[in-house]
Amino acid sequence: MKYLTQKILAACVVFSFLHTAARAQEETAEAPELTEAADRAIERGFEWLIATQRPDGSWATETGTYDIGGTSLGLMAFMVKGHFPGFGRYGEPLNRAKNYLLQKAEASTSGVMSGMYEHGLFTLAMSELWGMTADVEDNKKIQTALERAVQIILRAQSPLGGWRYSARPDGGQDTSVTATVFVSLASSQQAGILVPTETIDRVVGYLRDQVWNEQTGGFGYQGKTGTTIACTAGGAYIAQLCGQRDTEWVAASIRYLENSPKAFTRAEIGYYYYAHYYAMSAMVQAGDKQYAEWYPKIRDSLIQLQKPDGSWKEKEGDYPSNTPMAIIILGTPHCYIPIYQR
């Protein structure tokens, strides 16, 4: 209850700050708007998620794969508009999703929630849920699961500073997995879990020395070559979370994104929703001007890409991440989830 009270007070302080900042922003840059069309798109996305939630509470592919990542992101999508397990009109389905994840965590002998992609998303969901559910006992279970998940991540960091698919320090590293995993660590740190400074320093070293390309300003997947929007968005965002927001090399990565002429063309960008999930957060961190210019473009793109059924699903067997990521991006102006705030 103490932690819940602290989170509520923090949310009030954040809301007050954001309200003041928004008024100041009116004098310097046009504030990004959550239009009626965007809000309808979010609500239609919620309806699709509720309609397609599996009986066990999860969100997954038709064959049940990617259930940990899909369920974690599904919860986060509702949280972006302030919906939490046990409260309001979505309280029961969100409870079932939360229970599914906790049961999976308790049943895991190793503590690893599938591969490191899904483990990172699970950790992120737990850190943002902690203290925000209706059941005090659930909050204790969430804390236990979160602490265990973080310890696994810390032990799995590679000597170079990144992460890859397996929860082993000798398993290698890539920019994509590292982004997913480190966002969860940053969220956990915000929630009060200890993340050693050494861990953060090693991430900075990996990003700057191993995958950032000085010539393009972008990030590569497993090296400096082949820079992409997805890797650059993820790399830039976690570098900002590491405290590097005002450095020239991170500013160069933001310029790389801003100067990509086809950034909002779905056919030209691989992993479009994943890429913009990170790009939107990177622009929020970069500043009011970048946020104000980027959000309306991706907002309008996502509204056009939404399917008649309310989803952003593109084919059978698609990752269950597209729809919740689209909702999270559209809901950026709500500023409910701490890790997505500046």
Number of H helices, E strands in the chain: 13, 0
Per-residue confidence (pLDDT) for residue 9, from 0 to 100: 40
CA 27 to chain centre: 30
CA distance 179 to 163: 9
* 95-129 per-residue burial string, b: 16 or more CB within 10 A, e: under 16: bbbbbbbbebbeebeeebbbbbbbbbbbbbbbbbb
Per-residue confidence (pLDDT) for residue 30, from 0 to 100: 65
Per-residue confidence (pLDDT) for residue 29, from 0 to 100: 53
Q: By the 8 A CB rule, do 74 and 46 touch?
A: no
CA distance 330 to 298: 8
CA 74 to chain centre: 11
CA distance 72 to 97: 8
**The CATH fold of domain 2-340:** Glycosyltransferase (1.50.10)
Q: By the 8 A CB rule, do 332 and 72 touch?
A: no
CA 193 to chain centre: 18
Helix 272-286 crosses helix 248-258 at what angle (to 10 degrees)? Answer: 130
CA distance 247 to 249: 6
Max alpha carbon distance in the chain (Å)?
A: 55
Helix 116-129 crosses helix 67-79 at what angle (to 10 degrees)? Answer: 30
Q: CA of 336: how far to CAs of 57, 78, 250, 258, in Å?
A: 23, 10, 26, 26
Beta strands in 49-187 (DSSP E): none
222 contact partners, CB below 8 Å, separation of at least 6: 172, 173, 174, 175, 211
Domain residue ranges in the chain: 2-340
SS percent in the chain: helix, strand, coil, step 5: 65, 0, 35
Task: State the 10-residue block means of pLDDT for the chain, 342 residues long.
Answer: 42 38 43 87 98 98 96 97 95 97 97 96 97 90 97 98 97 98 98 97 98 98 97 98 98 98 93 97 97 96 98 90 98 88 82
Per-residue confidence (pLDDT) for residue 89, from 0 to 100: 95
Query: How many Cβ atoms sit within 10 Å of the Cβ of residue 308?
Result: 6
Helix 91-107 crosses helix 136-156 at what angle (to 10 degrees)? Answer: 50
- This prediction has a pTM of 0.90
Task: Retrieve residue 33's tokens.
Answer: 């708007």
Q: By the 8 A CB rule, do 219 and 212 touch?
A: yes
Q: By the 8 A CB rule, do 188 and 235 touch?
A: no
Q: Taking CA 232 as the corner, what is the angle to CA 228 and CA 236, rounded to the nearest 5 degrees?
A: 180
Q: What's the distance, Cα to Cα, between the start and end of the chain in Å?
A: 26
Q: By the 8 A CB rule, do 269 and 229 touch?
A: yes
